[in-house]
Structure 1
Amino acid sequence: MTDHQLSRRSALAGLGGTAVIGALSTSLLTGPEASAATPVQTTVPVPATDPAGSPPLNKKVEQRVGALLKRMTLAEKLGQLQLVNTPDLARKALATTPCGGVFSVIGAAQLNALQKQAVQHTRLGIPLIFGLDVIHGYTTNFPIPLGQASSFDPAVAETDAIVSAAEARRSGINWTYSPMMDVTHEPRWGRIAEGDGEDPYLASQMAVAKVRGYQGSDYSAPDKVAACAKHYVAYGGTEGGRDYNTVDVSIQELHNHYLPPFKASVAAGVATLMASFNTVAGVPAHANSYTLRNVLKDAFDFNGFVVSDYTGIQELIMHGVAGDGADAAAAGITAGVDMEMVSTNYVDFGKELLARGRISQSEIDDAVRRILRVKYSLGLFEHPYVDEAGEVTAVSAAARAKARSTGSRSMVLLKNDQAVLPLQKTAKVAVIGPLAVATYDLNGTWSGLGTGAGTTPPVTVLDGIRAAAGSPASVTYARGCDIESADTSGFAAATAAAAAADVVVLALGESAAMSGEASARSNIDLPGVQQQLLASVVVAGKPVVVVLFNGRPLTLQSTHDTATAILEAWAPGVEAGNAVADVLFGKVNPGGKLPVSFPRAVGQIPIYYNHQNTGRPADPNNKYTSKYLDLATGPLYGFGFGLSYTSFTISAPKLSSPRMNRHGGHLTVSVDVVNTGAVAGDEVVQLYVHDPVASIAQPVRRLRGFRRVGLQAGQSKRVTFTLTTDDVGFYDNRARFLVETGLVEVYVGNSSAADQKVTFTVV
């Protein structure tokens, strides 16, 4: 052992501990025996209370909540815990005992009518909260969140949230089930499209920006909504990429990898959280007292409310931790899920469970208090209705401009041989492919849910290119094939169109339905015969620019080997075709970077940049190392990768100090970025750290800073990052945050493969 290793010591940035947590106080039995079952006791680590919890409570709101709570009957309290999803169910509930909210119902007049029944025709007049999955747009569809993460620009996420919140609130929706911040290493998982990729730091930055955009400084404002951080927690670790599946995770991995975006969102004041469908180390998230009470509500000091996912409480029965609806309700309330979505176990069994001592009055009151707190903070008691004349039913010119800008800013140039891009406006362009004239598929998953969204199709790639070309007549079109079809009868026409053109733009990828919830794919190649279409078109001998529309990383080795250029466009939203054309013709120089690794083959999954090293790292000259016999080491395209139409240099990093005090110390890291090319462009400067010797093996790289910098040709700029003990510390398997003494490596560059290194010592 080296002197460095011997001298290494750990310092706790916060004191942790252990607590005995009662597991479900139910058995898997049904009937009377279930209530008599002996609780299982498990010793689990509890993190220290985090100083960066929710913002301080509003005293006036707390006084009003407390006064209302005292007036409520048990039935009225339980009613607040119920969330329904149709107008009929809402009307039925309001006719007897008020429900807490309604979701997935749109239309200002319809929502006002339901609100009128709640406010004017129930004893206490408690307003409803109206929720909707406003994931990347209400009426105006922006790029999917994974695309937004590719911008490496939190302002992109915030812009989406600002526009979406204003459109939704003016249309009667005051609660969005966004942002999703499930960090994942699993491209087969359809819901990767809804999140920010594989890195917890990037996800945290984008999530906080979304929360800020949705809520502003006061989400009672007429253009703001309550945000909902989801899915809590570790949903991105689902086995095999299959939705709703199991996650088995260590305490340190939970706290270092999956929890940071939620912690950051709570500190940013997010109003609500949604529990996830998966188990966490054997305990379903909807019944997990450790993650919900000990971590979220105690350690993170979260003071909003937790809503179940769709029938998530009922599904505790199928998970095998509840014998019936009463068991499920007891488990959910005890664990800390405050509002039940769709299923009605809280309302149906709450009174009985309270009488039998299986839940407590304080647990019910705490849940109701949290829900009322958000309703008061939304201003619903003062302004329960929306002005129906102000409902947003069409995309405005201003919103279109923002969607177009964020669409192009979210694209990533993966290949550009022969400098074929940007295209010349004098070129004859053949636009080919199953997505060349697609409309709603360019919106991607979870789109078109708001009023008017379904009547505003995205601009097609063909129309966007024709509008941008010097002469629309110089742009021809051939479909080639459908997205998933095996029909190759269109290949001949596509090849002929390519032969008659100077350059081919080939629009390939997935339909919107191929990613998102319940859309896992075991094979993530280009669907159908699209790869064969590419091979057929290449025969014409013209440069081929592949533009990809997809909701996940795809296996693109053959595409990479064949195409002249590749532009990753994701699902860009309502201005898709124009945003693509802006990039193809150079009006916008692509500056996006990949927020997730692209595997060479599906058998390589999981593959991600922030992996731990092994005792035998991959070595092409040594068989007995961690690698495949039939595949090159590493991803096809790594995290943080992306090209430009210009070139940049990033200087060697310089530190403000060679040491950092482990007790709250900090230092700065500076580099100079120069645009060494002939045109203006953006570079994303990325900072990674690595702790080479630690008490728990650390990832080979951890992103801890990034900055997207726009520079004119020849221009330079100094970029400075500040590192603190938060950036070099980590959680152990007792949920303690450790800042250990010793050497820390810092890498700065334009991708996770950055090799310019400097070191400092934590003392």
Structure 2
Amino acid sequence: MLPRITTPDGVVFRDLNGNGVLDPYEDPRLGVDERVADLLGRLSLAEKVGCMFQTVIESGPEGALVEGAGAISKSATTTVVTGKLMNHFNVHQLGDARSAARWNNALQELAETTPHGIPVTVSSDPRHSFAENAGASFAAGAFSQWPEMLGLAALRDPDLVRRFADIARQEYTAVGLRAALHPTLDLATEPRWARQAQTFGQDPAVVSALGVAYLEGMQGPALGPGSVACTAKHFPGGGAVRDGEDSHFPYGAEASYPSGSGEAHLEPFPAAIAAGVTAVMPYYSKPIGLTLRGIDAAEVGFGYNRPIIGDLLRGELGFTGVVLSDWELINDNHVGGQVLPARAWGVEHLDPAGRLEALLAAGCDQFGGEECVDLLIDLVGSGRVAESRIDDSVRRILDVKFRLGLFDDPFVDEDAASAVVGAAEFVAEGHRAQAASVTVLTGRDRLPLGGTQRVYVEGIAPDAAARLGTVVADPADATLAVVRLQAPWEHRDDLFLESWFHQGSLAFPPGLRWRLARIAEACPLIVDVFLDRPAVLSDLVDVADVLVADFGTNDHALVDALTGVVEPVGVLPFDLPRSMDDVRAHPEDRPGFDDPLFAAGWRC
């Protein structure tokens, strides 16, 4: 770790370039604009370019740096930090709090060896809930566990969202996570879409209000040393994917707007911009027939879409922050024996250099999931990209680092991290939110459960089931049955990441209804369904005596909701369809159905 130097007039600073002099960019007394301008003028082209790439990284055992390609990372840590001069990383694997803090400090010490000691900004996808998806989110692990964002949407409480985001901020900053690749402001309008769990549902007004509360909790009133810089995604709304197929994959390349509801998808973003969101991420999708605010989108991926980024986001909406592309728009990603093609939808004919040039021309500042720094250096050297264009992006990127206070102190306290991450208070608040977000669809008059039961259970851990009574193995011997289910999906595992995404039909297999009916003949039946997507529940309504939905609730939290320890007050964040025929007939971009089984906002 670099020593702190004290000047004769008492200024303490980090001598990041090792020249023994307090340079303006090292001076904590100066304004951000002055420090950025000074540093930008000192940087080589390679250092500037290094700021513009953000690749995936992992922590090693006990917080060690991973020197060699990891499970998902492409290169050794030293290679990307000191060789490619990169200083933004999206971390996947993290250990316990102490190990995560130790890893951050080791990474920052490595960054100090670069020519100007630019500190690292570590980002993360959501990691406080249940869904484990290497392409979108991570289960809580050492962090306090909360419902998915759909569960917070079910509670419709901006104050609670703000509180959750503040807790997440405290836990993130404790281990050195200073950038959030969230909130997800997409509307959940296409029931089959795999990424609804991280959204705030289908209603643009609800998404806007909760999104702003989230930013207030994460970033604070202004970006500063205690903040986590947020990225609002996926501009201008990623939920309207054709046939519900996700745009990570070639078969999901298109966004479709048959009902002309594109403006509804855009609605949350002006609110986030007004709230000071640090960065905006366009989605992979290629829009078909989309016009927003009188601007016609090009039929290329949103990251390549000059009308969407330059004219709409920068021009019409006045966004001046960082535009961060979604991951791997330039190069194919090969992991093990699988491949995920570059999401260069609409510009597949371009080579990687051409794609990078097109992303810059569209207005992107930073390239997610990529580390091809030499490609950009060559584009500048050949005259295809002006260095002044590089400066424009790097100025925005450095501005964020300085405001976060990383140049003055990027290190964290391992002991403090252990005390903050997963603190008992935070865990208790998350548990209560899980229970409260349970949404009773039918049979509320049978709740809360009371008395001693002989209970038959499926999908519930024995210790939680025992709180309901004596657990029996046969419904015929039970006075109550509780069955937990998950919304159905079709397993796919051809392309890299594909197996993590819950896609395809929302209908349960036909045998399930008959099996549950047999249980219900023996004793009253409670069915709980985890809705990471709006499953077709029509076959369960007349079978279950009580039908509830959850959006990320552990077994004990569910028992708390069923027994009245915590009142289940959740409401549906999206409509539930009656059938797959209704789903297939539904316009991908339109919020809600004409005749849903249960409507958004419903609770029994």
Deviations 1:475-519 (A, max 9, x none): 3154xxxxxxxxxxxxxx3x32xxx33332222224899799752
User: Does 2:206 align with 1:202?
Assistant: yes
Cα separation, partners in 2 of 1:610 and 1:363, compared to 1, 3 Å: closer
Q: In structure 1, what is the equivalent of residue 371 of structure 2?
A: 344
Report the 3-state secondary structure (helix = DSSP H, G, I; strand = E; otherwise coil) of the residue aligned with 1:102: strand
Q: In structure 2, what is the equivalent of residue 272 of structure 1?
A: 279
Contact 1:167 1:392 in 2 (8 A): no
Give runs of aligned pairs for residues 256-271 of structure 1, distance below 5 A.
256-271=263-278
Q: In structure 2, what is the equivalent of residue 297 of structure 1?
A: 314
Cα separation, partners in 2 of 1:510 and 1:604, compared to 1, 3 Å: closer
Contact 1:311 1:342 in 2 (8 A): yes
Q: Distance in 1 between matches of 2:472 and 2:206?
A: 39
Q: In structure 1, what is the equivalent of residue 427 of structure 2?
A: 400
Q: Distance in 2 between matches of 1:392 and 1:543?
A: 45
Q: In structure 1, what is the equivalent of residue 228 of structure 2?
A: 225
Correspondent of 2:182 among 168, 178, 193: 178
Give runs of aligned pairs for residues 585-604 of structure 1, distance below 5 A.
585-604=563-582
**1:251, CA displacement in angstroms?**
12
Cα separation, partners in 2 of 1:76 and 1:508, compared to 1, 3 Å: same
Q: Distance in 2 between matches of 1:178 and 1:412?
A: 25
Gaps of 5+ in 1: 1-57, 438-461, 479-492, 614-626, 628-632, 644-763
Q: In structure 2, what is the equivalent of residue 412 of structure 1?
A: 439
Q: Distance in 2 between matches of 1:378 and 1:476?
A: 53
Correspondent of 2:457 among 424, 432, 435: 432
Q: In structure 2, what is the equivalent of residue 12 of structure 1?
A: none
Q: In structure 1, what is the equivalent of residue 11 of structure 2?
A: none
**1:235, CA displacement in angstroms?**
1.6
Contact 1:234 1:280 in 2 (8 A): no
Contact 1:507 1:546 in 2 (8 A): yes
Contact 1:185 1:607 in 2 (8 A): no
Deviations 1:27-83 (A, max 9, x none): xxxxxxxxxxxxxxxxxxxxxxxxxxxxxxx99212211121111121111111121
**1:253, CA displacement in angstroms?**
3.3
Correspondent of 1:638 among 574, 583, 599: 599
Q: In structure 1, what is the equivalent of residue 470 of structure 2?
A: 475
**1:362, CA displacement in angstroms?**
3.0
Give runs of aligned pairs for residues 663-682 of structure 1, distance below 5 A.
none
Correspondent of 1:543 among 517, 524, 548: 524
Name the stretch that deviates more: 388-397 or 68-77. Answer: 388-397
Contact 1:410 1:592 in 2 (8 A): yes
Report the 3-state secondary structure (helix = DSSP H, G, I; strand = E; otherwise coil) of the residue aligned with 2:442: strand
Q: Distance in 2 between matches of 1:252 and 1:503?
A: 48
Contact 1:427 1:503 in 2 (8 A): no
Deviations 1:436-476 (A, max 9, x none): 12xxxxxxxxxxxxxxxxxxxxxxxx534534x5xxxx331
Contact 2:203 2:591 in 1 (8 A): no
Report the 3-state secondary structure (helix = DSSP H, G, I; strand = E; otherwise coil) of the residue aligned with 2:484: strand
**1:400, CA displacement in angstroms?**
1.8
Q: In structure 2, what is the equivalent of residue 369 of structure 1?
A: 395
**1:578, CA displacement in angstroms?**
2.9
Deviations 1:347-384 (A, max 9, x none): 22223323444333332111101110111111100111
Q: Distance in 1 between matches of 2:574 and 2:388?
A: 43
Report the 3-state secondary structure (helix = DSSP H, G, I; strand = E; otherwise coil) of the residue aligned with 1:130: strand
Q: What is the TM-score of this pair, normalised by structure 2?
A: 0.78
Contact 2:490 2:502 in 1 (8 A): no
Q: In structure 2, what is the equivalent of residue 568 of structure 1?
A: 549
Report the 3-state secondary structure (helix = DSSP H, G, I; strand = E; otherwise coil) of the residue aligned with 2:31: helix
Give runs of aligned pairs for residues 711-750 of structure 1, distance below 5 A.
none
**Residue identity opposite 2:580 in structure 1:** V
Q: Distance in 1 between matches of 2:591 and 2:174?
A: 48
**1:398, CA displacement in angstroms?**
0.4
Q: In structure 1, what is the equivalent of residue 148 of structure 2?
A: 144
Identical residues among aligned pairs (%): 28
Cα separation, partners in 2 of 1:523 and 1:251, compared to 1, 3 Å: closer
Name the stretch that deviates more: 318-327 or 359-368. Answer: 318-327
Deviations 1:394-452 (A, max 9, x none): 632201210122112212110017x211111x14141422x212xxxxxxxxxxxxxxx
Larger proportion of strand: 1
Deviations 1:531-552 (A, max 9, x none): 3331120121x22111222311
Q: In structure 2, what is the equivalent of residue 698 of structure 1?
A: none
Q: Distance in 2 between matches of 1:371 and 1:510?
A: 40
Cα separation, partners in 2 of 1:329 and 1:101, compared to 1, 3 Å: same
Higher CA-based Rg: 1
Q: Distance in 1 between matches of 2:347 and 2:188?
A: 26
Q: Distance in 1 between matches of 2:162 and 2:508?
A: 31
Contact 1:136 1:160 in 2 (8 A): no
Report the 3-state secondary structure (helix = DSSP H, G, I; strand = E; otherwise coil) of the residue aligned with 2:425: helix
**Residue identity opposite 1:158 in structure 2:** R
**Residue identity opposite 1:343 in structure 2:** E
Gaps of 5+ in 2: 1-28, 58-65, 68-74, 95-99, 130-139, 289-298, 332-341
Larger proportion of helix: 2
Name the stretch that deviates more: 286-295 or 314-323. Answer: 314-323
**1:306, CA displacement in angstroms?**
1.9
Report the 3-state secondary structure (helix = DSSP H, G, I; strand = E; otherwise coil) of the residue aligned with 2:397: helix
Q: In structure 2, what is the equivalent of residue 310 of structure 1?
A: 327
Contact 2:225 2:403 in 1 (8 A): no
Deviations 1:154-201 (A, max 9, x none): 223223222222112111211121111111321211111111221111
Correspondent of 1:385 among 411, 423, 442: 411
Q: Distance in 1 between matches of 2:403 and 2:317?
A: 20
Report the 3-state secondary structure (helix = DSSP H, G, I; strand = E; otherwise coil) of the residue aligned with 1:280: strand
Deviations 1:75-127 (A, max 9, x none): 111111121223443311332341131221532222211211212x1111111
Q: Distance in 1 between matches of 2:144 and 2:534?
A: 25
Q: What number of residue pairs does the alignment pair up?
A: 510
Q: In structure 2, what is the equivalent of residue 584 of structure 1?
A: 562
Contact 2:190 2:588 in 1 (8 A): no
**1:316, CA displacement in angstroms?**
5.2
Output the aligned Cα RMSD: 2.9
Q: Distance in 1 between matches of 2:527 and 2:45?
A: 61
